[in-house]
């Protein structure tokens, strides 16, 4: 079955902090970030903060929380709305465990057409929300996929196309961007947004780094379906299975700690993640082979079907006050 829209959810990081960058972020939490809820990610901006200016970071995860273990394919992430207030937001790809002090890579951003772009155009001018800051951050870069659209990201009337940046320069009022191939539609200045796109080939739960420490016991993880990290229940975790007899074992995670349910090689093992009510992972009984002994160990790492994203909100000094400010990040993908 395909992945459904409602099965793609946003979750916060374990820590949100403006005073301890070394702790801000981290692993995915089990709660949800509900769209449209005030302060679900960023706090309000005080008057003193607007006058002086500020930059804040928040981490979130886009989780493919599907009971199907189908991969989400050809994934594209992009901002699909300008902030209505005087602040602006860009986003950075993260890792499953990084904190604010560890953010690396580059930002992705959004702008609007500075002037109309006709069909056949190979160069467009994009008005950035804050041109001087965009010139420093450079959220549009050579080789980027670029979304040019005058319709909502969820569909409806209007046009949308995807092109590639072949050249870019930042000026005092706009960025000049060469694109390939040429635009196929006509775009008006007032209604068209231009976004740089972060792409991933696939998103799904995964198991890596399987090691069997046993004189004669084996685990066949190469056969598809024998060892599975589930889309909905998998977390970023290093697991250790410790045999207490030739058939029985206990399980502990580096951050999760010991699991209450021991396992046996004579039955499928699928410990439940209490945050989702579904298994962290499954090891099929047919995957086991050979003969294990007490104190033998099997270790492996699971990875969630989640995309870690850092939002960077900058409030320039002297920014005006506005209620109900927001930013919007969209995701496109395919599934079988």
pLDDT tens for 34-90 read 988 888 899 889 899 999 999 999 999 999 999 999 999 999 999 999 999 999 999
Give dist(CA 285, CA 265) in Å, integer: 5
How much of the chain, in percent, has pLDDT values that exceed 90? 88
Are 137 and 279 found together in one domain? Answer: no
What was the pLDDT predicted at 261?
Answer: 93
Nearest CA to 58 out of 277, 266, 312 is that of 312
Across 218-242, average pLDDT: 97
Identify whether the C-beta of residue 292 lies closer than 8 Å to the C-beta of residue 228: no
Q: What is the pLDDT of residues 160-174, one digit of tens each?
A: 999 999 999 999 999
What was the pLDDT predicted at 321?
Answer: 86
CB proximity list for 293: less than 8 A, separation 6 or greater: 214, 215, 217, 243, 246
CB proximity list for 38: less than 8 A, separation 6 or greater: none
What was the pLDDT predicted at 89?
Answer: 96
Are 289 and 325 found together in one domain? Answer: no
Are 108 and 137 found together in one domain? Answer: yes
Q: What is the pLDDT of residues 258-274, one digit of tens each?
A: 999 999 999 999 999 99
Are 124 and 159 found together in one domain? Answer: yes
Are 45 and 148 found together in one domain? Answer: yes
What was the pLDDT predicted at 293?
Answer: 98
Identify whether the C-beta of residue 305 lies closer than 8 Å to the C-beta of residue 205: yes
> Token pair of 244, please?
């207490």
pLDDT band, residue 186 (cuts 50/70/90): very high
Provide the residue range defining the domain that includes 215. Answer: 206-303
Q: What is the pLDDT of residues 192-217, one digit of tens each?
A: 999 999 999 999 999 999 999 999 99
pLDDT band, residue 130 (cuts 50/70/90): confident
Q: What is the pLDDT of residues 5-31, one digit of tens each?
A: 999 999 999 999 998 999 999 999 999
Question: What is the domain count for the chain?
Answer: 2
Give dist(CA 316, CA 39) in Å, integer: 19
Give dist(CA 206, CA 334) in Å, integer: 18
Are 318 and 298 found together in one domain? Answer: no
> Token pair of 134, please?
């965009």
pLDDT band, residue 256 (cuts 50/70/90): very high
Are 157 and 253 found together in one domain? Answer: no
Residue 36 main-chain phi, psi, to 5 deg: 85, 0
Are 147 and 268 found together in one domain? Answer: no
- Which carries the bigger pLDDT value, residue 303 or residue 85? 303
Give whole-number Cα distances, 273 to 80, 229, 301, in Å.
33, 11, 15
Are 149 and 198 found together in one domain? Answer: yes
Are 198 and 213 found together in one domain? Answer: no
Are 143 and 218 found together in one domain? Answer: no
What was the pLDDT predicted at 230?
Answer: 98
Are 46 and 185 found together in one domain? Answer: yes
pTM of the model: 0.94
């Amino acid at each position: 079955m395909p992945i459904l829209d409602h099965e793609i959810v946003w979750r916060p990081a374990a820590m949100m902090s403006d005073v301890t960058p070394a702790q801000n972020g981290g692993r995915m939490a089990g709660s949800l970030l509900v769209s449209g809820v005030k302060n679900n990610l960023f706090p309000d901006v005080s008057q003193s903060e607007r006058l002086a200016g500020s930059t804040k970071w928040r981490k979130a995860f886009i989780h493919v929380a599907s009971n199907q273990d189908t991969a989400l394919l050809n994934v594209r992430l992009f901002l699909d709305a300008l902030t209505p207030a005087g602040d602006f937001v860009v986003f950075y790809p993260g890792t499953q465990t990084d904190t604010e002090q560890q953010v690396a890579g580059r930002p992705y951003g959004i702008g609007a057409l500075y002037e109309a772009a006709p069909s056949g155009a190979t160069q467009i001018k994009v008005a950035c929300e804050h041109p001087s800051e965009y010139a420093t951050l450079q959220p549009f870069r050579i080789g980027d996929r670029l979304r040019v659209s005058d319709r909502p990201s969820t569909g409806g009337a209007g046009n949308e196309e995807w092109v590639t940046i072949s050249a870019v320069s930042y000026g005092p009022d706009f960025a000049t961007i060469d694109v390939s191939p040429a635009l196929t539609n006509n775009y008006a200045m007032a209604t068209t947004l231009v976004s740089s796109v972060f792409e991933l080939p696939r998103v799904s739960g995964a198991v890596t780094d399987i090691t069997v420490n046993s004189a004669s016991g084996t685990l066949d993880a190469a056969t598809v379906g024998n060892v599975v990290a589930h889309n909905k229940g998998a977390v970023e975790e290093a697991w250790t299975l410790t045999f207490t007899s030739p058939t029985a074992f206990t399980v502990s995670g580096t951050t999760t700690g010991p699991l209450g349910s021991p396992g046996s090689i004579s039955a499928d093992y699928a410990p439940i993640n209490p945050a989702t009510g579904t298994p962290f992972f499954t090891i099929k009984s047919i995957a086991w082979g050979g003969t294990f002994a007490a104190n033998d160990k099997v270790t492996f790492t699971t990875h969630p079907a989640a995309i870690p994203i850092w939002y960077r909100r900058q409030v320039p000094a002297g920014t005006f006050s506005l209620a109900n400010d927001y930013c919007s990040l969209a995701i496109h993908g395919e599934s079988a």
